[in-house]
Amino acid sequence: MDKIRVGVIGVGNMGTTHCRNIYEGKIPDMTLAAAADISEARREYVKDHFPGAAVFADGDEMMKSGLIDLVIIAIPHYFHAEYAIRAFDLGLHVITEKPAGVYTRQVKEMNAAAAAHPGQIFGIMYNQRTNPMYQKLREMVRSGELGSLKRVTWIITDWYRSQAYHDSSTWRSSWKGEGGGALINQNPHQIDLWQWIFGMPDRIYAKASFGKYHHIEVEDDVMAFMEYDSGLTGEYITSTGEAPGTNRLEIACDMGKIVIEEQHMYFYKNAVSEREFEKTNTKPFGAPECEKIELDVDQSGGEQHVGILKNVASAILHGTPLLAPGEEGIRGLTISNSIHLSAFTGRTVDLHNFPDDEYYEILQEKIRNSTIVKKESQVIATV
């Protein structure tokens, strides 16, 4: 093929961004062939802003039209897996927006469908994997340059969202419409980066507050404690109710510590490994000598969404390995589902034996007992 013909399902905030990036030629190997949305207003938007793209009211009709090679799924979370499964059956390549789904059981079904169609590319929009700082940190961890990791703390509370945000769509911030709050909406990128860089935790214990700062039924304040069999421990703190918030990632390791904050990356580098120092030190208050180094890393944030799209295009056309394979979406979702489950039950969750069915049943109970119902008249229109 000369260019990959792309169809976008869901022309909301992210779907519009993908349409614009492709239509404006930012991904040279892609062309915007079609878009689908159930909203007549959004379909008219496509006609006005992306002339030449076919417009559909039904995503399935678009996928069956023969007009596209690749579908980008940018609709509410519950529908990611089912549309991906149908797309695979129709012979299409697939990119799903994050999160991969709402509960692990449905995402495992999606991954099984992807495995049954090995000739089709399956990616997920984990655009933060293109950020040079996180790529550098992953390289340092994997190379052994930092020695053994001791503790990871990520305070990510600069997600401030007002009530107006939660009221901007009928599907937002409810168990039925979104399947969760901060963990399933704002945090999938950071949770993915956590496992991408440090690996999957073995156990999680968490506390969460539901509707602490907003008139919503889902979580808007979370603290999770993660344990690894290696001895590494982790703290993950997130909220949508703090202003101004913080985004600080700190890694304590044998060779000192790494801090990423406000677009800077610092290595507090020990002259000698702390474990080696401990073996020979005789001074009661001795400590390794340490030098603060600001690492020379591109602060642009990388190509983000455009970078993921370019990578998927190269995978389809040239067999390039995917930066964010869709199958890996199950990992971050298992972490967020485990945090939810621990907060629901008060117990520590074993991620190696995550109870998919138990979590699904609890989620269904949350949906049945939902007390917040949004009417269209209450919804604030957004582009």
CB–CB of 163/157 below 8 Å? no
Q: Give 144's DSSP letter.
A: T
Query: Are residues 64 and 163 located together in one domain of the fold?
Result: no
pLDDT at 377: 45
C-alpha dihedral sign at 176, 180, 182, 183: negative
- Give the CATH number of the domain where residue 257 resides: 3.30.360.10
Q: Confirm whether 74 is domain-assigned.
A: yes
Name the token pair of 138.
Answer: 């992953």
Cα 102 from Cα 77, distance rounded (Å): 6
Q: Confirm whether 382 is domain-assigned.
A: no
What residue type is 128 in one-letter code?
Q
pLDDT at 168: 87
Name the token pair of 26.
Answer: 């930012």
Query: Are residues 173 and 209 located together in one domain of the fold?
Result: yes
pTM of model > 0.75: yes
pLDDT 10s digits, 212-268? 999 999 999 999 999 999 999 999 999 999 999 999 999 999 999 999 999 999 999
- Give the CATH number of the domain where residue 80 resides: 3.40.50.720
pLDDT at 194: 98
- Distances in whole angstroms, Cα of residue 275 to Cα of each of 23, 279, 336: 54, 7, 33
Torsion of CA 96, 329, 13, 137, to 10 degrees: -130
**By CB neighbour count within 10 A (0-12 exposed, 13-18 middle, 19+ buried), where does 246 fall?**
middle
Cα 237 from Cα 220, distance rounded (Å): 11
Place of tokens 């968490």: 206
- Peptide bond between residue 28 and the one before it cis (omega within 30 degrees of 0): no
Q: Confirm whether 380 is domain-assigned.
A: no
Q: Which residues of 286-308 are buried (b: 16+ CB within 10 A; e: fewer)?
A: eebeeeeeeeebeeeebbbbbbb
Q: Confirm whether 379 is domain-assigned.
A: no
pLDDT at 207: 98
Cα 184 from Cα 201, distance rounded (Å): 18
Query: Are residues 201 and 188 located together in one domain of the fold?
Result: yes
Q: Confirm whether 360 is domain-assigned.
A: yes
- Distances in whole angstroms, Cα of residue 307 to Cα of each of 24, 128, 233: 15, 10, 32
Query: Are residues 243 and 312 located together in one domain of the fold?
Result: no
Q: Confirm whether 88 is domain-assigned.
A: yes
Question: Which residue range(s) make up the domain with 31?
Answer: 4-128+303-324
Instruction: Give every CB contact of residue 105 below 8 A, 6+ residues apart in sequence.
Output: 356, 357, 359, 360
Query: Are residues 72 and 163 located together in one domain of the fold?
Result: no
What is the tally of structural domains in the chain? 2
Query: Are residues 235 and 279 located together in one domain of the fold?
Result: yes
Name the token pair of 258.
Answer: 């790494």
What residue type is 226 in one-letter code?
M
Q: What is the number of residues in the chain?
A: 383
pLDDT at 357: 98
| 239: phi then psi, degrees, rounded to nearest 5 | -160, 150
CB–CB of 269/293 below 8 Å? yes
Query: Are residues 137 and 227 located together in one domain of the fold?
Result: yes
How many DSSP H helices and E strands does the chain contain?
A: 12, 15
Query: Are residues 31 and 80 located together in one domain of the fold?
Result: yes
Cα 34 from Cα 12, distance rounded (Å): 15
Name the token pair of 165.
Answer: 């945000």
What residues of the chain score a pLDDT lower than 70?
372-383
Q: Which residues of 142-161 are buried (b: 16+ CB within 10 A; e: fewer)?
A: eeeebeebbebbbbbbbbeb
Query: Are residues 79 and 216 located together in one domain of the fold?
Result: no
CB–CB of 81/323 below 8 Å? no
**By CB neighbour count within 10 A (0-12 exposed, 13-18 middle, 19+ buried), where does 115 fall?**
exposed
Q: Confirm whether 142 is domain-assigned.
A: yes
Q: Confirm whether 209 is domain-assigned.
A: yes
pLDDT at 172: 87
Query: Are residues 174 and 280 located together in one domain of the fold?
Result: yes
- Peptide bond between residue 244 and the one before it cis (omega within 30 degrees of 0): yes
Question: What is the secondary structure of 29-85 as a DSSP string?
Answer: TEEEEEEE-S-HHHHHHHHHHSTTSEEES-HHHHHHSS--SEEEE-S-GGGHHHHHH
Query: Are residues 110 and 136 located together in one domain of the fold?
Result: no
Query: Are residues 287 and 315 located together in one domain of the fold?
Result: no
Cα 262 from Cα 259, distance rounded (Å): 10
